[in-house]
A = this chain, B = another copy of it.
Amino acid sequence: MLQIKRPSIVDVAELAKVSKQTVSRVINESPNVSEKTRQRVLQAIEALGFRRSELARNFSQGRTHSLGVVGRDLNYFGTRTYIGIARQAEALGYSLLLKELPESGIEQIEPMLNALLDRHVDGILWAVPEIADNHAWLDSGLLARIPVPMVFLSMAPRQEATVVAYDNFAGGELATRYLLDCGRKHIGHIAGPQEWWDASERQRGWETTLQQAGMKVLPEHVAMGNWDAASGEAAFHRLLASYPALDAVFVANDKMALGVLLAAHEKGLRIPEDLAVIGFDDITESAYFHPPLTTIFQDKAALGQQAVKTLAHRIEQKFQPAVQHVLESTPLTHQLIVRKTTPAGVIKT
């Protein structure tokens, strides 16, 4: 099973009777080649089935036209986010080098970044959710020593770091205000894990909105889950116990809301008459929950796209500081999707 060597630029040069330099010019579409030789070279390329080795090119140029993507469990940001990332990267001519950051934590971070840098990625996209202080390394000065542009997905804004994120605070406000508009007076919250930035922002949005409406917010008006349906169910039981007057609940994601719906049903609560429920995310299933879930939509694909655009923009700036690059931007705003878990007839602008 003889391995046939890929033809190189030299093979093409020999066949076309030119220098390899000329071949290089042809494949790079340099204008400084006569039409005649260009044709000869193109023929040789065709005849040999030549393709330029990106590996060699990357090596010689010192850049790889690839982006390192560090994720955690792929599934937090969800497949939609990754699709956005992948499509946008492809569109912009970047390859993706994917890494999974293990739970273990902080001591894995530097090795991971190094692995990417050793492969000379042009930029790095950090798609690890911010949990507790797992982004604390940013303040250690490590960031400044990373020689390539870096973009962070959905983390708390901080100095010197480029962040692409939804405004979860605003999302929390949107959900809560809607429940207020429905006329509910006792709006509880089932939060994601406190240590998650996204979760605490959503909670802050809920709290602030209620306070601005002149309502009191007590600790027993919140229960915490871990994003899973099971935890939503458990949290709902606790919440109902600690806040019996409850007539509406803002759940920090749709999966937990699924658990809430089940639990409420078991308790014999009518939805939305006795209890209004609003979720967060608008996962595809939520339209088929029982009853269909009112929720806050966020376009995860757009989030991924925007992150890649931003990163690519910074890379181009670095490699060609001369030219003015424009950064296209996708708007990232939450949308309210009203379905059956909230009362009908409410006008919302």
Cβ distance A147 to chain B, nearest Cβ, rounded Å: 7
Is A25 among interface residues, defined by CB-CB distance under 8 A? no
CB distance from A22 to the nearest CB of B (A): 21
Is the Cβ of B230 less than 8 Å from the Cβ of A259? no
What is the predominant secondary structure among interface residues of chain A facing chain B? helix
Residues of B contacting A185 in the complex (Cβ-Cβ under 8 angstroms): none
State the CA gap A23–B97 with chains docked (Å).
28
Q: Which residues in window 43-90 of A have CB below 8 A to B?
A: 51-56, 58-59, 64, 66, 69, 73-75, 78-80, 82-83, 86-87, 90
The interface size bin for chain A is: 35 or more
| Docked CA distance A233–B99 (Å) | 38
- Quick one: given A3-B147, A285-B258, are A79 and B73 in contact (CB under 8 Å)? yes
Is the C-beta of A35 less than 8 angstroms from some C-beta in chain B? Answer: no
A83 CB to nearest B CB, Å: 6
Other 18 A-B pairs with CB < 8 A, given A229-B284, A229-B287: A51-B117, A51-B118, A53-B120, A54-B115, A54-B119, A55-B58, A55-B59, A55-B64, A59-B59, A73-B79, A74-B79, A74-B82, A74-B83, A75-B79, A95-B97, A230-B288, A255-B284, A258-B288
